[in-house]
Structure 1
């Protein structure tokens, strides 16, 4: 997985399926992504991560966590998350995405899956090697990855067995699940504001526009971005425009001025200045570097 695609709503566009089952399992090298990191996104699928090399810093909603080699993460359905490698160690991880409805049979889904994917106090779980339950989950992720690579007879059935084990080990902890309406509203408003930016990034954007998209005041809007993304709304817009310019600059027939205007800058020199600060090189140098 290199070119990580998300839609305007930040929802990941990768179809998480392996043949007939709604599951995807693949190895990702973080710095090989077009941005050099895994950009902010979310998906309906639940995600399990196992670091096989190096270490990574994940952000899930508002929290950051360092995950080391041999450790992993459970990331819940619908949670905004991003990943960067730590200490330039060429971090590689196995990523297992599963449709919640495929975890257990429909008869068991209502009791044992639905309450967990809607809980507001369970955005993620750190899977370290200290607890037996976490070790069992990490082993099952490895097995599922091997099963998909080997494709031995009836391997899809073997995968469902491993998924059942994963979920049993996850819920065996007896978490006290919480459902805070304010948290649900916050998540929805944040996604609405990000969605609006991703639809309109090529246009002139004012703080008022972003706040209106989330049905918030300007100051509340700034608080949301500072708390969740650790930056101002307009800085996020700037970073997103630079991110979108990377794809355009890799097109052989593109030029820097055209790209600048296409991603919402009204001055080429301003674009070059901001690009250099973000990427430590000029847009033209980046274009030459990527196009050989």
Structure 2
């Protein structure tokens, strides 16, 4: 099966996938993490709310600077605008059902301000684990499965059933004890890390300096380093190097040499590119190129 290239705006990191049916602002699909071209779901965000149900294998998610494992049978809610990444946590298949829905579709318009908006804006709820052994969690996970089936079968008036199911799932989520809080300081931190990532994804193929990156986030050099240590457990320039490797995977599947690829993604040394690639991918660029192209 060919690798899937996850559609993400290379500047803003916003996911570009259209999350809607013909008539409704939602989408429900299965995602096999290992089938992505980079072997994981890369860092991104989207305006829609996301519900995840792990149906095969186990996955590790990182949402901003927080990490968690999602076991088979369990699930996860990811809030609007939250930066996140996912990778397989076990060998074999790692597949989940992903339900993305526009926040305004959760409830009737008159209830949105009270029942949805405070949770969407909450900075203390970038995600909520959904355990299958809890009554409220099991109800939400069964709801994801029910919506998946409704979208596959598309019986008459299935849209009304989808809307009713979604409202029920949301009610279970917000009545399970999670209280929304908003912190302006936390919002600013989240926006600054997004600004620096956007800058990297525009300029990664150029010479990147710590000073330039810090200015993009309106931070000092030391603060910039602290941000990357907090969010990604690495230095800013190591993040840049790893991002370049990720971009090289796409080019290596095309008719380009290893040297051409190295320089195109911003490395000024082919040997360093090969060294960095081997460290991250556990194989050389040439071996990867032969593997994905079936040589």
TM range (shorter): over 0.9
**2:91 maps to which of 60, 85, 88:** 88
**1:6 maps to which of 8, 14, 20:** 8
Shift of 1:2: 2.7
Matched, 1:121 2:124: yes
Q: 1:30-41 residue pairs with structure 2 within 5 A?
A: 30-41=33-44
Cα separation, 2, equivalents of 1:35 and 1:87 = 16
For the 8 Å contact 1:189–1:214, the answer to whether it is kept is yes
Matched, 1:267 2:269: yes
DSSP-derived class of the 2:219 partner: coil
Q: 1:1-292 residue pairs with structure 2 within 5 A?
A: 2-7=4-9, 8-251=11-254, 253-292=255-294
- Unaligned stretches of 5+ residues in structure 2: none
Shift of 1:285: 1.4
Cα separation, 2, equivalents of 1:108 and 1:181 = 25
Q: Could you report, residue by residue, the CA deviation over 1:104-161 in whole angstroms, capped at 9, with x for unpaired residues?
A: 1222111111110001111111110232111110000000111111111111111111
Cα separation, 2, equivalents of 1:25 and 1:111 = 26
DSSP-derived class of the 1:205 partner: coil
For the 8 Å contact 1:55–1:89, the answer to whether it is kept is no
Deviates more, 1:37-46 or 1:84-93: 84-93
DSSP-derived class of the 1:47 partner: strand
Q: TM-score, normalised by structure 1?
A: 0.97
For the 8 Å contact 1:2–1:28, the answer to whether it is kept is no
DSSP-derived class of the 1:109 partner: helix
RMSD of equivalent CA atoms: 1.2
Cα separation, 1, equivalents of 2:123 and 2:92 = 33
Shift of 1:53: 0.8
For the 8 Å contact 1:28–1:92, the answer to whether it is kept is yes
Cα separation, 2, equivalents of 1:165 and 1:229 = 35
Kindly tell me the number of residue pairs found equivalent between the two proteins: 291
Cα separation, 2, equivalents of 1:173 and 1:127 = 10
For the 8 Å contact 1:35–1:243, the answer to whether it is kept is yes
Shift of 1:45: 0.5
Structure 1 segments (4+ residues) deviating >2 Å: 173-176
Deviates more, 1:64-73 or 1:171-180: 171-180
Q: TM-score, normalised by structure 2?
A: 0.96
Shift of 1:174: 4.2
